[in-house]
Structure 1
């Protein structure tokens, strides 16, 4: 097999037992166990593929959980990082750089931000949401103790972002946690209306909920959030950490008229695909929201706005634009969705562009296939997919992926589901 083959190998998938045990032992000896035991020891990537230490090739249909927007080692991304690293690496937040200003200007452009809008760079999605959380606390001069989050949400693992995250199993070990967060049922406008009032600082919401299996909100819900927050003077904060940067076929999911319903948020948080593999997050205030939030000295980060990360981010945005990857994501979805729905055992396909949820239907005995088992069989067959929830799979491949690369996966999927 050559590196240009589009079909992953179907034999000798697993690394040798001795070799796998060696790196697993090394991992457990020196690294934190918070992620559990790693599935593979990856050593190289190119385009839509990665290779493990044994030389086995895998089609990466998760892209680092929607991070590697341009795939692995895209030349424009590599060149941008290399040139910036050879010029200026880190400067702290006492200074700025052309890369930092250039990336912020590009975000202003693609979001069509009004005057007064501002970008704050950090290092991750959870940090972007932490900054937005602090901004919410300062909104309307402070004194608004409550922030509303939506059932099914995932906003991060640091303490503020964790308080906004819906899954009780994530929050319970760290109780009592950050106070003042109220979780309301998904899609229930009446429950939201009952919860929101003049003591509400903000509503945090993802336009597409990734961690429950790629779920958009019912028609009219985002519009209701916008109307209700405006009515009481609260902020509407959109978490586009996973759904932004072309993932849904628009620059940002809320810009899609069906998903976003034409709303304009007060704050947008970004990360993942923005750096294409480099750690970067962004918290963006829209219009005059910036004038009533954080002041100089009230927030900071040592590495945020790092020239190398910003150069990578600018290369990602310019490449998506130059190569027409927004339209490409929609075209690939148009090709893929009907082929997935035609497979026995697959139900609803959710999401848009290259953020896709796959529902696994009950078998003849009424048993829903174990999504973790399906993903394990897929890995053995050379495909990296995500068992995001019971009975649901998530795909978030590089925006550069082709239908030729996807064809072997589509052909293999019926057998992966049935085992």
Structure 2
């Protein structure tokens, strides 16, 4: 299953030119950089460390940009991604017809000497050890970055990285101008890009890859009668995941109660009501079945705890994965301080180590239930069960973990 690039060994360079001495200003570009950086740094979406995401707003010279790109390209390790973004004025050199990226002091009649050649960007990206390389250009004539005679520059870039995935996403074709609506917070293309990454797609994949992003932006911008983005890729570079789908991942699933849909027939989840105890989008999830009471009394299995256990006072079958000991879930009393061996799951709900001193728990815990075994999901598997409708979110399920009638839980959640 496709995974995100490791953010700890990835780098992003976000370049924006908002102020110009000889060209119209683009004030929205500053917000572009802040918005995109916020998305990339969000732990729920990717989690790029602050030091790995460099912002260059209104750099003073092409040399500064080249050095920043070179340093970032050299810092990426195998398993990481190099992401380069530019927003500003795209300019075409009169003689070479090549694309240049404008800076504050760019002279329109001397772009070869005062703007950043796109060749510098492609060279630095090409030299990187990154397995995944993504360049995003939000500027006029960005499609020119694809043109080097009969072969696109994006393809030439990717051809020199045959083992790796390379992709170029541009806001406008070679002959089109990008748009920055007056008064808008972001430029048109970047605004849609940031909103998509931040909000996600409710019916989309677990991870937003370049192709999904491009197709969605193309539809949205077309509906607004704005220039449509273009994409070029090598080695399935457009399948490269960029961020998690926020519609599926923005909230931690820990503490959520899930109900198996009626069509599930597998023994592990058939008519199951599940409490998620631990969740991480890159490491998977762990949960227990709430509606499978067993026959072993708690007073036999864990005699020191039987006075705290909620009815029915039996060990529940938490799932098919065998654990070394029991799993105990507990609910803190409203005004209680969490005991030392209490690990919070969500709100007042948590787990308790049965090796703890019960005397410390007597006044702190309002409910307790003990499970043998658990359910486990690898990265993306729980999300897949949710996407496919095998598991559904339970509404008004706060009482489910300690229901006195656990055997009736699944039918209660089916409604009338």
Output the TM-score relative to the length of structure 2: 0.26
| Structure with the larger RCO, 1 or 2 (CA within 8 Å, 6+ apart) | 1
Output the TM-score relative to the length of structure 1: 0.26
- Name the larger-Rg structure: 2
- More helix, by proportion: 1
- More strand, by proportion: 2
